[in-house]
Amino acid sequence: MRKRVFFSLDIGNSKLTAVLARAEKQQLRLLASATLPVRGLSKGIVNDLASLVDCVQEILDKLNQEVGMKIKRVLISVNGDYINARSSFAAIALSERDNRQISLSDINYLRRQARLLGVRIDETILHEFPQTYILDDDHSTFNPLGLLARKIKLNSYLLSASHTLLGNIKTAIQQAGYEVDGVSYSGVASSFSVLSDEEKKKGVLLVDLGACFTSLLFFKDNRLRDFKMITFGGNDITNDISVGLGLAWELAEELKKTSLILSAAESKASDKVVVRRSGSYKTFERRAIQESTKIRLEEFLNKIKSAIDSSVWKDKMECGIVGVGGAANLEGILEKIESYTGMHARLGHVKNSSSSEKSLGPQFSAAVGLLYYRTNLNNPPNLKSYFSGKTFFERSANFLTNLYKEYF
């Protein structure tokens, strides 16, 4: 059973989030989960390797001990302004004269070319999303396998990360005594745990509200279409409360989580909040907490609106906005985003394999999404095309032919 147990670790800018789960009959059974404040990381970049190693070791060892296992391979998701998105194009000629049937090896070769042309020497590709295949400069399709053409083009959308900065995170995992089983961008990982296939097909905007960054991922036709990142997150709100009210960071963070109200009822919030500071107690009006965040929060909301307006996919998001990440839990934040953008917004709910399991909050969306992403990879959808053919001999011949084209 151990072979079907998976470990995931979301490396956020304020905390580590880990989940241990078992795959059972194409479902996930969550075994354990935990969060831990992160040390040794600043805006997604390692600045103290030893501290990060200690954090990773502490949270993963804790979950292993909790379930009585020794899982050493871990899936990780990362976030930071070293994540880049760009389109890449590639084309190949299939035949000089007559049409030829497009094979799986043709598609894989074309995708490899798009990856090579779209990545820089100092980058590692995390995800690729084929946008459309164009046959003979005439018509486009999402799946060209088996169609006839003389030439095929591909427009692909790539998410990549700095090879060096990502390497430092991998080093921390290895020095903690674990192996990296795979790497994903946290926003893409979250999409697997909170978005349905129907939403991704119709069009949905995933807004990942993190500690230092807010990411916008536009999905349509079951693929990522656009990506935006804003340098603002929950830590900026905490800092505003800390400076505005003269409080220590830890106390400002607690006030943000428990007493900040951003909903329409904020103007009526005249009740008081009592906090302990320097051995004594001090009283603040709840409205004062909100006022300390007002200016920068309005700037942030306008940035979100501008980012959405700048995307050609804005009007194709039929299912509106889904919010994930720790800052998505702030009371009224999604209501504010809905008001500024004019798009329906809801909080993302992490999928559970059983209704009897305790529901995990949106801060676990990336860690759980990693597990769904990993189990999807266990069932390659194109494998059947290697064995196409009416008879055993035809299937065997096609398999060997495709395999040869794939690697030689």
Boundaries of domain holding 140: 83-163
Per-residue pLDDT tens digits for 344-356:
999 999 886 543 4
Per-residue pLDDT tens digits for 208-235:
999 999 999 999 999 999 999 999 999 9
pLDDT of residue 100: 87
Give the domain CATH number at 128: 3.30.1490.110
Per-residue pLDDT tens digits for 107-135:
999 999 999 999 999 999 999 999 999 99
Per the structure, how many domains does the chain have?
1
Cα atoms found within 13 Å of the Cα of residue 168, Cβ hemisphere only: 17
Q: For residue 292, is it within any domain?
A: no
Q: For residue 154, is it within any domain?
A: yes
Residue 151 pLDDT greater than 60, yes or no:
yes
Q: For residue 120, is it within any domain?
A: yes
Query: How does the average pLDDT of the chain come out, rounded?
Result: 86
Alpha-carbon distances, residue 20 vs 9, 13, 30, 348, 390 (angstroms): 9, 21, 6, 20, 43
Going by pLDDT thresholds of 50, 70 and 90, the confidence category of residue 326 is confident
pLDDT of residue 383: 37
pLDDT of residue 214: 95
Q: For residue 278, is it within any domain?
A: no
Residue 38 pLDDT greater than 80, yes or no:
yes
Q: Which residue has the tokens 């059947």?
A: 384
pLDDT of residue 377: 42
Please count the other Cβ atoms lying within 10 Å of the Cβ belonging to residue 198: 11
Going by pLDDT thresholds of 50, 70 and 90, the confidence category of residue 378 is very low
Q: For residue 243, is it within any domain?
A: no
Q: For residue 75, is it within any domain?
A: no
Q: For residue 113, is it within any domain?
A: yes
Q: For residue 146, is it within any domain?
A: yes
